Each structure stands twice: as structure tokens, then as C-alpha cells.
Amino acid sequence: MYQRLAVHGFPWQRKGNLGFRMRRKGTLRTVFSALSTLPIAPPGALPALAGILAAGVAAQWLAWRLRVPSILLLLAMGLLLGPCTGLLDPASLFGTLQSPMISLAVAIILFEGGLTLDMRELRALLTPVTGLIIGGVLITWGLVAWAASGILGFSDGLAILIGALLTVTGPTVVAPLLNHVRPTGECGPLLKWEGIVADVIGATLAVLVLGAISSSDGSLTLGGISLGLLKTFGAGLLVGALCASFLILALRQRWIPDRLEVPVTLGLVLATYALGDSIQHEAGLLAVTLMGFLLANQRVVRVQHIAEFKETLTTLLLACLFIVLAAGIQPAELAQLDGATVLFVLTLILVVRPAAAFLSLSTSKLPWQQKAFVAGVAPRGVVAIAVAALFASRLQGVLPDADRLVPTVFAVAAGTVLVYGLGAAPLARALKLARKDPGGVLLVGASAFAESLAQALGQEGIPVVLVDSNPRRLSDARMAGITTAAADATSAHPAEHIPMGGLGHMLALTPNEQVNRLATQQFAEFFGRAEVYRLQDGQQDKDISAGRSLFPKGLTYPELARRIAAGETVRATELSEEFPLQAFMEHHGDAAVPLLLRRDGKRTIPLTLAAEASPEAADTLFYLGPDPQAIAAQ
């Protein structure tokens, strides 16, 4: 440190072993003169940084209100602040720190993505996931390179580079899209896995191609790329596994106090990325992704609180990244976008993605409808734009058309998000993978009553998922064939850890009143306030965001548990004009309690304490009661 200060004019010299003193008599003028040579923030840096954050949050809020993908408004905000008005110039604002800042932000985003990966999903989807991230990536690489060369007239080197770069999809865009569409089947988890893993593979391929293009001989061989992939994956797997193991050990042994667990984890994630990248270029991306995956799938320590913090941080980082990257595009680069660019984007959507998806999934047992939906969803996001921006400076003087890379990738990201964002839901409904008003039910809290209700709903063909924060309480339900998810329904973004396909209602059935209220508040934004319900807790429903009270008066958790222990179960019966609700109640008496209705074979209507719905002819009535034969015998 003292040597660096001396370089800037600070007159320090060592004085024995006791420290340092002034080498010669200095004055305040000498000190201030030296300080003036140190790099300082440019004028207006503080308002610019605050403005980026404020604009990002405002764009995401507006996107939520308009129900459009947030990336569209974030990119538009960046263009407005950058090339359109000149209010924001990231190059002058951040200088040489821009590239490492972008890299570290992408590392945190991929770590958070790794935290959402579930090993149980991979076991069920091993064949299609492998097909997409290997065969699909290679097919996409070749077809995109062909389209870039034939349609855009790119040089061979740039065409191969953009082909490798556009093999990635956008997990930060795919996840909100899937939460909005809620497709049934395995296509949702498959797209999530592809988005995260293909990002790492695609970015690594692009780096290897860039290195070959930038080399002195410009050679680009399959053997060289394969060797580079092996080195990158070896270094990334080793570093990620070691750092994840160290963090798990530190958390288990209580080496880290509770209040520092999140900061230490964040610091270790950044250190993991830097270590992996120093060993092998871009190995850090794989290392942090693997680290998140291993943390999420271990059962030694609890990491939900870490995941919640990372979700909030990722939201802010994404907002800032998209604005900074879009603002960095020059007006001259935007002027290069023309009709050929539009044709290139359409080719990626209509030709490249369907061909890659159907060919890579040809050996899987997925129904053709799910394959078609996968073929119709492949938005590009922040990783593609960020890596393209990082490559731009290194390609200057190497390729004659290097300045076309960033605006083309930007156009692909904006175009694919727009098309897939608007078209994914209609496509899913056309393929019978989703409905405009889904009738599936999410049950929060594993119990004997919840399992009985889930079995009754499933037997009638209603999608149902049982959620509990304790995996052990879900074992009986899994053995009974009920779809389960080990997740905390009170966390910041619980829907990201639960298969939401076909679900339209949430019922909080835990014995804890506060947990039920928190769960309904968390899912109110996802399902809508009118579709979240909770067990009665003796309090009036003054706050609708806390859900409406379920079932007729007196049917609390202890009463439900008592009736289940007495041998009662949830059953279904068909109502009709000849057998209306009145006849049903006369036949069963007080022994049966109505719970839910299924109307028109589509709508699921939970019955509430306020009696807001009444059974009609042709409804399916779900009720809690004893065996009908026992009632008849009595």
C-alpha cells in the first residue's frame, strides 16, 4: 500500500520496524497534489447511479401494472436515457470498472438461478434436459450461424460467434413467463433447467470462439473448442463443489453468526466466481451456478433466508443491468438495424427454435403438445446482452463488422421477449396445456385432511399440489401419488420453487394462523386476492389480502383433525336437478360438510365462511364425511 502511495507522490519511507514516517518534510500542498492524481468519480456520478436504480424500479413497477415482461420496459428505459437523450453514458460513468461490474452481477444472477434448480426435477427430466442442453445447443449454434451469414451477411467469424452466443435463453425472462402461463406437464421445469444450464454452456462456447478469433492465427477447430470446454467445466465443477462444501460446513458448524450468513454467502459467491475465472476463463459462471444448485439440494443446513435475499438483490441487479447495457448502445449502432434484422429475428423464432427443440427432444417421451410449447418459448435475456457488450471492445480491429454484434443481440433479445411474452399464453391454451381460468388447487400444509382433499381432487382430474416446508411431512402424500413440493410458502417468491402448472387457487391449511395469513399474502399477487383462502382463525376477514375464511362455520383445523381421526374422508358426489344440495343434506344430515364445488368441469369454487357461492345442478360437490354405506346402515 505504501509503495502505491509513494507512486502518487506521498513521501513515505520505512522507519525501522515501528512503521513509517515522512521521507522528507511535506506540506499539505504536497498531500493534496498527490490526492488530485487519484481516480475519482466523474461529476454527476451520484445522481446518475441513483437515477439508474430509480428508473429500474419504476420500469419494473410499471411492467407489473401493465402485465408485460419487465425486460421490454427496462430496455426502453435504457434506450431513452442513453442513445435517445444522452442523459446516461455508462462508459464515462463506470470507465474500466464496467466490465467487471457486469460480470459480477451476472454471476450473482446465475447463482440465484442455481438456487431454484431441484434435483428431483432433473431425475424425472434427465433425457429431455440432456437433449436440450447438448443437442439443442449444437443445433441452435449451427442454424443461427447459418442465418447470420445468409441473412445479415456477417463474416464467418462473427456468424459463428453470434451463433454460440444466442444458444443461451433468458432464465430471468423464462421464470416470470412460466409463472404467468402456468403450463401443465413437464415443459415448465424443462424450460427452467434449459434457461439456467444453457446460459453457462452458451457463454462458455462464445468465450472459446472469441479466444480463437482473437488469436494470432485465428484458427477455430473443433478439437480446440472441445479441450477448452473440458478445462472450463473441470475448473468450474471443482471450484463450485469446493466452495459450496465449505459454505455448508461453515453454516453447519456455526462458524458464521446468523446476522452475517447472507453477507458472507454473497462475498463467497463473488470470490467463487473470481477464483474460477482466474483458473479458466468463464469457469466462474459454472462454479457459481453449481454452488447455488448444491446449496439448494442439500438437507444439512437451511438456506431459505439466503435465497430470499438473493431474489431481492437479483431483481435490483437485473433492473440496473438492462438499463446500463441498453444505454451503452450508440445511435450509429442502432441505425444499422433494418429489415434484414427483423427477418433474422423471425427466423430464430419460426425456424431455428422449432427445429432445435423437436430434433433434440425426438428421443424423449414428452407428449407432442409439450414439445411444441418448448419449441415456442426461447427468449433471450441479460446474459446474451451482457456477454455481447463485454465482447464488443475485444473485437474492435479484429473483425470488420464487429460493431454489428451488440445491436443485433439487443434486437434479438427485445424481439424474442416481445413475441414469446405475448404469444406463450395463447400457445399454451391452444395446446391444452393451460386455461385462461385454471382450476387447479395449491394446498399449503401437509396434514391428514390435506392429503384426503388432494386425493379427492386428483381423482376428479383436478390438478393439485401439496406444499410444506418440511419434506418429511410430504412422504406419505408422495407415496400416494400426490404432486408435492418442499417449499416455504411464506418466503418472498414461493411460486419459483413450486410446480404451478394448471393451478388457479391457493388454500392455506396449516395449524398456524400466522403462517396461513402470510401464505395468502404471498400468493395474492400470483393468483389474485379473490383466489387465496385460509382456514378459519376466529378473526373477521377485514384484510382481503390475508385471504378469505374457508368452509362453513366451526370447521377449524382442530375440528378437521378430529373428524379425520374419526375415520371421515373427503369425497365427491354429483349434484343434479333430481338430487340437489337440499336432498344431499337431508340424506347425510350433519355428518357431511360441503367443502368445494367443481362447476362446468373447469371452475373450482372453494366454499367460504361468508357463503359467497351456493351449489347448483350439475356441480360436483366435495364434502367431508363418513363412508356413505355407514350412513345408509344407520
DSSP per residue, 424-455: HHHHHHHTTS--SS--EEEEES--HHHHHHHH
In 3D space, the residue among 393, 379, 485, 391 whose CA is nearest the CA of residue 442 turns out to be: 485
Q: Which pLDDT score, from 0 to 100, does residue 16 have? A: 46
pLDDT at 14: 46
Residue 150 in grid coordinates:
445468409
Residue 355: half-sphere exposure toward Cβ, Cα within 13 Å: 13
Contact 550, 507 (CB under 8 A): yes
* 327 residue type, one letter: A
Residue 31, pLDDT above cutoff 80: no
CA–CA gap between residue 299 and residue 252 (Å, rounded) = 11
Distance, in Å, from the CA atom of 345 to the CA atom of 358, rounded to the nearest integer, reads 19
At 343, is the pLDDT very low, low, confident or very high (cuts 50, 70, 90)?
A: very high
Quick: pLDDT tens for 53-112: 899 889 888 887 887 778 888 888 988 888 888 888 888 888 888 888 888 888 888 888
pTM of the model: 0.74
The neighbouring-strand residues paired with 466 are: 443, 484
Dihedral angle computed from the Cα positions of residues 528, 533, 537 and 541, in that order, rounded to the nearest 10 degrees: 40
Q: Which CATH number fits domain 47-214+314-430: 1.20.1530.20, 3.40.50.12780, 3.40.50.10440, 3.40.50.150?
A: 1.20.1530.20
Nine cell digits for residue 494: 414461493
C-alpha cell at 73: 420496459
CA angle centred on 510, ends 509 and 513, rounded to 5°: 105
- Encode pLDDT of 390-432 as tens digits: 887 777 777 888 888 888 998 998 889 889 988 888 899 899 8
| pLDDT for the residue 24 | 43
Mean pLDDT of the chain: 81
Q: DSSP per residue over 147-199, as a string?
A: HHHHHS---HHHHHHHHHHTT---HHHHHHHHHHH---TTHHHHHHHHHHHHH
Split at pLDDT 50, 70, 90, the class of 7 is: very low
Residue 272 has pLDDT above 90, yes or no: yes
Predicted pLDDT at 634: 54
Above pLDDT 90, what percent of the chain? Answer: 16
Which strand (E) or helix (H) includes residue 12? strand 12-15
- In angstroms, the CA 473 to CA 496 distance is 21
CA torsion, points 490, 491, 495, 496, in degrees to nearest 10? -160
Q: Which of 64-68, 270-274, 384-388 has the highest mean pLDDT?
A: 270-274
The CA-based angle 77-81-85, given to 5 degrees, is: 130
Range 440-633 classified under CATH 3.40.50.970: no
Which of the four pLDDT bands, split at 50, 70 and 90, describes residue 15? very low
Look up residue 256 and give its DSSP letter.
S
Whole-number pLDDT of residue 587: 77
> Is the predicted pLDDT of residue 219 greater than 90, yes or no?
no
Q: Integer distance in angstroms from the first to the last C-alpha of the chain?
A: 91
Region of 614 on the Ramachandran plot (φ > 0 left; ψ -120 to 50 alpha; else beta): beta
What pLDDT is stored for residue 268 in this prediction?
93
Mean pLDDT of 581-608: 78
More confident residue, 497 or 60: 60
Predicted local distance difference test score (pLDDT) of residue 17:
44
pLDDT of 482 strictly over 80: yes
pLDDT of amino acid 232: 83
Q: Report residue 610's pLDDT band, with 50, 70 and 90 as the boundaries.
A: low
Closest CA to 381 of 165, 600, 153, 96: 165
Domain ranges in the chain are 2-36, 47-214+314-430, 440-633
pLDDT over 90 at 358, yes or no? yes
Reported as a single tens digit per residue, the pLDDT across 501-555 is: 788 888 999 988 888 888 888 888 778 888 888 887 666 555 555 667 887 777 8
Is the pLDDT at 1 greater than 60? The verdict is no
> pLDDT per residue over 446-460, tens digit each?
889 999 999 988 888
Q: How far apart are CA 402 and CA 410, in angstroms?
A: 14
pLDDT digits (tens, 9 = 90+) for 295-323: 888 888 887 777 767 777 778 888 888 88
Rg over CA atoms, the chain: 29
- State the DSSP string of 567-628: T-EEEEEE--SSS-HHHHHHHHGGG-EEEEEEETTTEEEE-BTT------TTPEEEEEES-H
| pLDDT recorded at residue 546 | 63
- pLDDT the model gives residue 43: 58
Q: Which amino acid is at 34?
A: A
pLDDT, tens digit (0-9, with 9 covering 90-100), for 140-195: 999 999 999 999 999 888 899 999 999 988 777 887 788 778 888 888 889 988 88
